[in-house]
Chain A
Amino acid sequence: MALALAALLVLVAWSFTAGRFAVAPGDVARILWHALAGGDSGLGANVEAIVLQVRAPRVVAALCVGAALAAAGAAYQNLFKNPLVSPDILGVSAGCALGAGIALLMSLPIAAIHAFAFAGGLAAVALVVAVGTWIRGRDPILTLILTGVVVGSLFGAGIALVKYVADPYNQLPAITFWLLGSFTGALPRDLPFTLVPIALGVAAIWLLRWRIDLLALSEDEGRSLGLPVAGLRLAVIVAATLVTASAVALAGTIGWVGLLVPHAARLVTGAAFARVLPLSLLLGAAFMLAVDTVCRTAFPTELPPGVVTAFIGTPVFIALLALTFRRQS
């Protein structure tokens, strides 16, 4: 835990200094200090603008989106009693993306984009739960993953339709780049629209962390232990979907974080959700920031972070799938 926190701080420092225009760590600290405490850093408006207007929002956005997706992933995994799900695998991210895409198409204000993303995400979860309950396959883990794939592709078709009807000169490139997953659009004035819902959703998940543990048990066990299972599941769905929607509305569909990070956390802490959650928040934030910083500094042109997480996530997912089914047989 302390190690993860230390790593996160080092990453934040690195992310502020690295980039097309290198800024010395001492200067970053001075600018941030003066921005908070008031006064003039004496480093010039250019450097200040880079630190405060370009890098700070981007760092904050990456940290929040990483933490949000990891927390949502951990919560969904307990909720569905399935360690192989995450917002993207369940199709929730696609639902949020369709909602946000429709709002972009109609040129709605940012608050509406978030609201539409949330509505799209809830629709996707509702569909996954409904289809999953109706099918009740012999292998619930695989059934749920397949249901998520199907729901995700349905909403993906919706997104394709949105792109098809979008104005090809302005809207289409904007929607396409946003969907690839990117933090370039993190503007200081828009950040509160993301941070507030994420903070609310994560706070709800945090407060319920002792109860969310019991969701991993069978429904009969949970209810006989006095747990209001239906109400708790609804609360967790709303909180995790709210968090996912805000992350998607800001940064597009960045996959795999919600799957990989809780798994990494469980390797360290064991299954208890009250310990998985804080470590997932820290690791998710650190992972996302590291990926984004590499994406914007390591190559001549910026890479979308969603591409990098997919390159890491796909082989790890296959390994986890193999491990899960080996254990089953």
Chain B
Amino acid sequence: MLAAAALDFGFPRRTVGRGLDLELRAGEVACLLGPHGSGKTTLLRTLLGLLPPLGGTVHLDGRPLGEWGARERARRLAYVPQAAESYFDFTVAEMVAMGRSAHRGALASPSAADANAAAASLARLGIAHLAGQPIQRVSGGERQLALIARALATGARLLVMDEPTANLDFGNQSLVLEEIARLRASGVGVLLSTHHPEHALRIADRALLLREGRIIAAGAAAEVLTSEGLTALYGSPVAVAEVLLPGTPPRSIRIAAGLPRPS
């Protein structure tokens, strides 16, 4: 479990957010929403141990984050970055295998166990057939799945994802969201940031609304992701509505849409 209490986060000469409480457990998806510049990425980096907390505490499995060794921490808590362009054209399998480095000494070569774990991780995300493909030549969604596979290959059961659906087309966004929902079903805890309330409505168990470094609402997704909550968050009218999908049996989903400002 990852738990932050009364957390102040930011940089030595610039505090970004204050007094933040947050918990992430295995088997749940928590979504972090907020406008640009609200401090989402800085918060995620602090929770990952990449930035030291400026105040308050972050605990991983009951122990302060800073007390874990770098490799121990990497085996419990993994980071899924946005898929970025790289000039080094690793294959999908090589990229996923990098997740195993926390299981080896600094000078050790990958073992058979490392290869098996990486292969299992590829299979788990249904991208085993892409193993030999250069990572720059698969679709954006597949690249994101490869980065998730790399995070799973570390053995971590808690994943922190920075806007995993950014820069993806509609179909690929759906693909990634579905895989995140499947990970939750297998007991993985995911904290992800997103600019899309409808993505949070689709997969989040819990949601946190971050505005100017402060949590303005947090709790069960259904209670937090409301018209009022999202309107306050973005400073622009948002409607959340329940839509009944025809079919047998009929299903209801919740969607969010921006509205014109009242004139």
Chain A residues proximal to chain B, CB less than 8 Å: 78, 81-83, 141, 207-208, 210-211, 213-214, 216-218, 220-221, 223-228, 266, 270-272, 274, 324, 328
Contact flag A226-B106 (CB < 8 Å), given A82-B87, A218-B84: no
Chain B residues proximal to chain A, CB less than 8 Å: 45, 48-50, 70-75, 77-79, 81, 84-91, 94, 98-99, 101-102, 104, 106-110, 134, 154
A266 to B49, CA, bound (A): 34
Contact flag A225-B101 (CB < 8 Å), given A208-B106, A218-B84, A220-B50: yes
Partner of B88, one of A78, A207, A221: A78
A210 to B79, CA, bound (A): 20
* A83 pairs with B45, CB closer than 8 A: no
* B90 pairs with A224, CB closer than 8 A: no
In the bound complex, residues from chain A placing their C-beta under 8 Å from that of B89 are 266, 270-271
* A270 pairs with B101, CB closer than 8 A: no
* A213 pairs with B98, CB closer than 8 A: yes
In the bound complex, residues from chain A placing their C-beta under 8 Å from that of B73 are 226
* A271 pairs with B94, CB closer than 8 A: yes
Partner of B87, one of A141, A214, A221, A225: A141
A218 to B85, CA, bound (A): 11
In the bound complex, residues from chain A placing their C-beta under 8 Å from that of B75 are 226
* B86 pairs with A224, CB closer than 8 A: no
Contact flag A210-B94 (CB < 8 Å), given A226-B70, A226-B74: no
* B90 pairs with A221, CB closer than 8 A: no
* B102 pairs with A225, CB closer than 8 A: yes
In the bound complex, residues from chain B placing their C-beta under 8 Å from that of A78 are 88
* A223 pairs with B110, CB closer than 8 A: no
Partner of B110, one of A210, A218, A220: A210
In the bound complex, residues from chain A placing their C-beta under 8 Å from that of B87 are 81-83, 141, 324
Contact flag A272-B79 (CB < 8 Å), given A213-B98, A220-B50, A226-B73: no
Say what secondary structure dominates the interface of chain B. loop
**A118–chain B nearest beta-carbon distance, Å:** 23
Contact flag A272-B90 (CB < 8 Å), given A224-B50, A226-B73: yes
A326 to B205, CA, bound (A): 43
* A270 pairs with B81, CB closer than 8 A: no
In the bound complex, residues from chain A placing their C-beta under 8 Å from that of B50 are 220, 223-224
In the bound complex, residues from chain B placing their C-beta under 8 Å from that of A81 are 86-88
Contact flag A224-B110 (CB < 8 Å), given A214-B101, A270-B91, A272-B90: no
**A267–chain B nearest beta-carbon distance, Å:** 10
- Using CB atoms, name the residue of chain A closest to B85: A328
Contact flag A224-B88 (CB < 8 Å), given A210-B109, A270-B94, A270-B134: no
Contact flag A228-B45 (CB < 8 Å), given A210-B110, A217-B98: no
* B88 pairs with A226, CB closer than 8 A: no
**B6–chain A nearest beta-carbon distance, Å:** 24
A328 to B78, CA, bound (A): 29
- Using CB atoms, name the residue of chain B closest to A82: B87
> 9 tightest A-B contacts by CB?
A226-B74, A226-B102, A224-B79, A226-B71, A271-B88, A216-B88, A226-B70, A271-B90, A207-B107
* B90 pairs with A225, CB closer than 8 A: no
A258 to B110, CA, bound (A): 27
In the bound complex, residues from chain B placing their C-beta under 8 Å from that of A211 are 101, 106
**B53–chain A nearest beta-carbon distance, Å:** 16
In the bound complex, residues from chain B placing their C-beta under 8 Å from that of A220 are 45, 48, 50, 79, 81
* B101 pairs with A210, CB closer than 8 A: yes
In the bound complex, residues from chain B placing their C-beta under 8 Å from that of A210 are 101, 104, 107-110
